[in-house]
Structure 1
Amino acid sequence: MKSINPDDFKVVGKIELAKIPTNLNINASDDDKEDKLDNVRDKLSEFQDVMYAHNRYGVLICLQGMDTSGKDSLIREVFKEFNPRGVVVHSFKTPSSTELEHDYLWRHYLALPEKGKFAIFNRTHYENVLVTRVHPEYILNENLPGIESVEDISSKFWDDRMVQINNFEKHVTQNGTIIMKFYFHMSKEEQRKRLLRRLENEEHHWKFSAGDLKERDRWGDYMKFYEEAINNTATENAPWYIIPSDDKDVARYIVAKIIWEEMQKHTDIKEPTLDEKVKINFAMYKDKLAKEN
Structure 2
Amino acid sequence: MNPALNQTSTLPPADYTKGDCLRDLAALKERLFVLQKRFYAKSNKALLVIFQGMDTAGKDSTIRHVMSSMNPAGVHVKSFKRPTEEELQHDFLWRVYPHFPPKGMIQVFNRSYYEDILVPKLQASLAPGRLEHRFELIANLERHLQINNTDILKFFLHVSKEEQLKRIEERKQDPEKRWKYEVADEQAALRYLEILQTYTELVQRCATVPWHVVPSDKKWYRNFYVAQELVHCLQELIA
Q: Give the TM-score taking structure 2 as reference length.
A: 0.95
- Relative contact order, higher structure (CA 8 A, sep 6+): 2
Aligned partner of 1:56 in structure 2 is: 44
* Residues 182 and 54 (structure 1), Cα distance of their counterparts in 2 relative to 1, 3 Å cut: same
Unpaired segments of 5 or more residues in structure 1?
A: 1-12, 138-152, 271-293
Aligned partner of 1:251 in structure 2 is: 222
1:139-162 deviations in Å (ceiling 9; x for gaps) = xxxxxxxxxxxxxx4322222211
Mapped partners of 1:253, 1:191: distance in 2: 20
Mapped partners of 1:50, 1:167: distance in 2: 30
The one of 182, 206, 214 aligned to 1:209: 182
**Residue 43 of structure 1 aligns to a residue in which SS?**
helix
**Residue 57 of structure 2 aligns to a residue in which SS?**
coil
* Residues 251 and 265 (structure 1), Cα distance of their counterparts in 2 relative to 1, 3 Å cut: same
Mapped partners of 1:49, 1:136: distance in 2: 45
Mapped partners of 2:33, 2:181: distance in 1: 32
The one of 123, 134, 137 aligned to 2:122: 134
1:78-134 deviations in Å (ceiling 9; x for gaps) = 111211101111110011122122211111111111211111111111001111211
State how many pairs are aligned.
Answer: 239
Residue 20 in structure 1 maps to residue 38 in structure 2: no
The one of 163, 188, 195 aligned to 1:190: 163
Greater Cα radius of gyration, structure 1 or 2 = 1
**Residue 184 of structure 2 aligns to a residue in which SS?**
helix
Mapped partners of 1:38, 1:132: distance in 2: 40
Mapped partners of 2:233, 2:73: distance in 1: 22
Deviation, structure 1 residue 27: 3.1
Amino acid at match of 2:86: T
1:50-93 deviations in Å (ceiling 9; x for gaps) = 11111111111100001110111111111112111011111100
Mapped partners of 1:14, 1:32: distance in 2: 27
Mapped partners of 1:58, 1:80: distance in 2: 18
**Residue 95 of structure 2 aligns to a residue in which SS?**
helix
Deviation, structure 1 residue 246: 0.6
CA RMSD of aligned residues (A): 1.4
Mapped partners of 1:225, 1:32: distance in 2: 34
